[in-house]
Amino acid sequence: MEREKLQQNIKHLSQRIEKAAKKSGRSREDIALIAVSKNIDVQTAAIAADLGIKDFGENRVQELKVKADALPGVRWHMIGRLQTNKVKDVVGRTVLIHSLDRWRLAEALNKRAAFAGIEVPALLQVNIAGEEQKAGLDPADVKSFLESVGQLENLRIYGLMTIAPYTEVPEETRPVFRQLWELRETLRIRDYANVELRYLSMGMSNDFEIAIEEGANLVRVGTALFK
């Protein structure tokens, strides 16, 4: 991808993020853009990094490994479904795992982090819309998950993540984002060990403005950047 085009896309996207942030009484700096570089080659990711992109997201472990090792100077996020036998490739390479969606995975991450002598930061992925084909905890199960996380000494939960159903009309995603925000507000008043619910990771190319208006502070955008 051409540098000029990418530069333009970044600028335009940043302006859209700023506008949505202002609408919700926040500033551009309150919202971190995670550039989703899946299907993008390392060279293009390197140009994006050179243009100031600090955070990148990948949904496949193999691609994450290759790119994170090629570009160690930026922050890598794991945003896709993660198998327990692949945690060793992700722990230590990522600043945040957005897709923690089951207890067995939490245990596997914790074990690997303990082995590496580090803490692993993660978000709980919640299936707000209850879509069968999508990963994520049932909203009703999040509380008991958080109550148990203290047992896993090397795991830290820093917030919640969701993926809204795709729709031609982005406005229709608003209730999904609002529900994740409300869930976070309800859980935030409790003091769970190893939990600090500071991040809401929600919003993609199609719906990030709505997500920001509803309180997102991490948005995961691919197509709108790299198209």
Instruction: Find the binder of ligand PLP among 68, 87, 187, 204 (CB under 6 A).
Output: 204
Instruction: Report in angstroms how near the CB of residue 98 gets to ligand PLP at its nearest.
Output: 7
The amino acid present at 2, given as its one-letter code, is E
**CA distance linking residue 34 with residue 223, whole number of Å:** 12
Quick check: 79 binds ligand PLP (CB under 6 A)? yes
CB closer to ligand PLP, 154 vs 208: 208
Instruction: Report in angstroms how near the CB of residue 87 gets to ligand PLP at its nearest.
Output: 18
Instruction: Find the binder of ligand PLP among 15, 167, 186, 223 (CB under 6 A).
Output: 223
Quick check: 170 binds ligand PLP (CB under 6 A)? no
Which span (25-33, 104-112, 113-121, 219-227) binds ligand PLP, by CB under 6 A? Answer: 219-227
Instruction: Find the binder of ligand PLP among 35, 40, 56, 59 (CB under 6 A).
Output: 59
Quick check: 151 binds ligand PLP (CB under 6 A)? no
CB closer to ligand PLP, 184 vs 220: 220
Instruction: Report in angstroms how near the CB of residue 153 gets to ligand PLP at its nearest.
Output: 28
Instruction: Find the binder of ligand PLP among 40, 120, 163, 183 (CB under 6 A).
Output: 163
Closest residue to ligand PLP: CB criterion: 222
Residue closest to 67 by CA, chosen among 52, 46, 97, 88: 46
Chain residues in the site for ligand PLP (CB under 6 A): 36, 38, 59, 79-80, 163, 204-206, 220-224
